Structure 1
């Protein structure tokens, strides 16, 4: 990927993270922010908006670090297992374990006596559903081998990035962080191959210009 397209990916993901966090923040914490709108305290609303954008930028940076870390891990995995099918099988098993642990470990750690498991299952289902949707779209845009790696990143990568809030288990923060992470992760997955293709085209054009420039320099002056 060219530096220009990498910067484009970075800035777009940053903006998406900020805007998604603003929308999610006002939705999941509406009980806290509703009085500000009722009192028409626009200065306070603006400060909350700026704060949410800043938090969204942080979530976006976590997403981008996780994404580029996964690209490295994916290359190592292919190199170690020497087979796309075998590496995809390993990733599928890890996805299953992570989803199970996301429900089971959170339940045994935070569930109160008599509390059901529904509130612990729902976040895992959201992660899985979004992961499947993004992986399916990625497969349609590229090839069938891309499904499991995309699902792996959307599930395992998101859960790892989400871990600081999972440890606290505060309801509004869980979703305030989860939704922007899923959106940013999905965006990066779905746009990566397009930016790579664009970068390849730009390189070909640049390489085509160099021989023409060399030929012009070699032409004898009249």
Structure 2
């Protein structure tokens, strides 16, 4: 990828993270922010919006760090296991372990006495279904072999990025961080092939440019 397209991906992902967090923040914390809208307190609304966008920028940076870390891990995994099928099998096992831990460990640590397991399963299902949708789109965009790596990234890497808030287990923050991470991760995953293709075309155009310039012909001196 060219530096220009990398900067485009960085800035666009940053903006998506900020805007998504701003929207999700007002939804999940509506009870807290509703009085400002009722009183039409523009100053407070804008202050909260800018704060949420700033938090979204942080979520976006975590997402981008996780994305580029996964690209390295994916190449490393292919090098170690020497086979796409074997590496995909390992990734499927890790996906299952992470989803199980997301339900079981959180329930064991945070559940109150006689609390239902369903909310914990529901949260894991949100991550799983989002991962399936993005992985399906990725496989359609590239090839079938991309499905499991995309699913791994959307589930395992998202949960790893999500860990700081999961440890606190404050419900509004759990959702506030989850949806921007999912959207930023999906965006990067689906945009990468397009930007790589664009970068390749740009390099080809640069290489062709010197050869495409017409050669200047020197005029013969006139005998007149």
Give the structure 1 partner of residue 52 of structure 2. Answer: 52
Deviation at 1:211, TM superposition (A): 3.2
**Any idea what the Cα deviations from partners look like across 1:109-141, whole Å, max 9, x if unmatched?**
111111111121111100000000000000001
> How many Å separate the matches in 2 of 1:122 and 1:3?
40
Larger Rg: 2
Deviation at 1:221, TM superposition (A): 3.6
Give the structure 1 partner of residue 15 of structure 2. Answer: 15
Give the structure 2 partner of residue 90 of structure 1. Answer: 90
Asked if residue 109 in structure 1 is aligned to residue 133 in structure 2, the reply is no
Give the structure 2 partner of residue 152 of structure 1. Answer: 152
Point out 4+ residue stretches in structure 1 off by more than 2 angstroms: 210-213, 219-222
> How many Å separate the matches in 2 of 1:191 and 1:94?
25
Give the structure 1 partner of residue 167 of structure 2. Answer: 167
Normalising to structure 2: TM-score of the pair? Answer: 0.95
Deviation at 1:220, TM superposition (A): 6.3
> How many Å separate the matches in 2 of 1:221 and 1:93?
70
- Runs of 5+ consecutive residues of structure 1 not aligned to the other structure: none
Q: Secondary structure at the match of 1:200?
A: helix
Give the structure 2 partner of residue 128 of structure 1. Answer: 128
Q: Secondary structure at the match of 1:113?
A: coil
> How many Å separate the matches in 2 of 1:121 and 1:49?
31
**Any idea what the Cα deviations from partners look like across 1:23-73, whole Å, max 9, x if unmatched?**
100000000000001111110000000000000000000000000000000
Q: Secondary structure at the match of 1:116?
A: coil
Which 10-residue stretch deviates more, 142-151 or 81-90? 81-90
**Any idea what the Cα deviations from partners look like across 1:141-179, whole Å, max 9, x if unmatched?**
100000000000000010000000000000000000000
**Any idea what the Cα deviations from partners look like across 1:99-118, whole Å, max 9, x if unmatched?**
00000010101111111111
Deviation at 1:209, TM superposition (A): 1.2
Give the structure 1 partner of residue 74 of structure 2. Answer: 74
Give the structure 2 partner of residue 24 of structure 1. Answer: 24
- Runs of 5+ consecutive residues of structure 2 not aligned to the other structure: 220-224
Give the structure 2 partner of residue 186 of structure 1. Answer: 186
Asked if residue 137 in structure 1 is aligned to residue 158 in structure 2, the reply is no
Q: How many residue pairs were aligned?
A: 219
